[in-house]
Amino acid sequence: MKPWDGIISEDEQKAYRAAGFGRPTGMGTRPALLIIDVQYRTTGTVEKPFWESIKEFPTSCGDVAWNAVRHIQPILKVFRDKNWPVLYPHVAPKKSYDGGRLAAKVPSIMTIPEKGYEFVAEVAPVEGDILVPKKQPSAFFGTALTSYLIDVDADTLVVTGCTTSGCVRSSVVDAFAFNFRVAVPEEAVYDRSKVSHAVNLFDMSEKYADVMPTKDLLSRLSNIPARAAQGTS
């Protein structure tokens, strides 16, 4: 069963099939992992239901975020074990001049305390990971992400984090536009809206990415050789 079944009608799904959408692009041989905005401001510092979690950070997605973190963990372990690059597009603490149109739409983003910008410990970066601060939804817009990906010779991006309908989707679309293969493990991305989550997974699956269960992604990654450590051949 797909995450969008029961939300996207069977007739609508058939319409996409008839038009030829939704073909898989497959995995390359040089994957990189993006962990987007998995910070306490989107999860809360402890796992709580949504309405409790937003009392700490109004931008928290609640318990669905922590479920995603548990699915990101085994993916991250594979990337660490195989010496593949891990990149962390994230929102840095906001300054008064960082507002822009997003602050007009969502004023609460300007009042997140410092703790909210810390990476969730269970999937936090380590020495050697690449940090990519961003000010817009797409991890590519106005950042050095493309340059980093070229430098590590990536041909496939595994995209995790949040939100499915916002920063994940916009980053996936831009990755597709740059001609990367893109994989989205469906349980390793999250959103405060179940409907937006499902609809955007469907749309990405049809047009921009291979969307699949985490277990299927892990199986595919297991067949890709590890990257040699720097300085070895």
Catalytic residues: 167
Cα 153–chain centre separation = 20
Is the sign of the CA dihedral 126, 132, 137, 140 positive or negative?
negative
Q: Count CA atoms within 13 Å of residue 107 on its CB side.
A: 0
Residues 1 and 201: beta-carbon distance below 8 Å: no
The token pair at 86 is 């891990």
3-state secondary structure of 87: strand
CA distance 24 to 13: 16
CA distance 78 to 175: 22
Cis check: omega of the bond before 111, within 30 degrees of 0: no
Instruction: Name the phi and psi angles at 61, rounded to 5.
Output: -100, 0
- CB burial class (10 A; 0-12, 13-18, 19+) of residue 14? exposed
CA distance 78 to 80: 5
The token pair at 106 is 């969502």
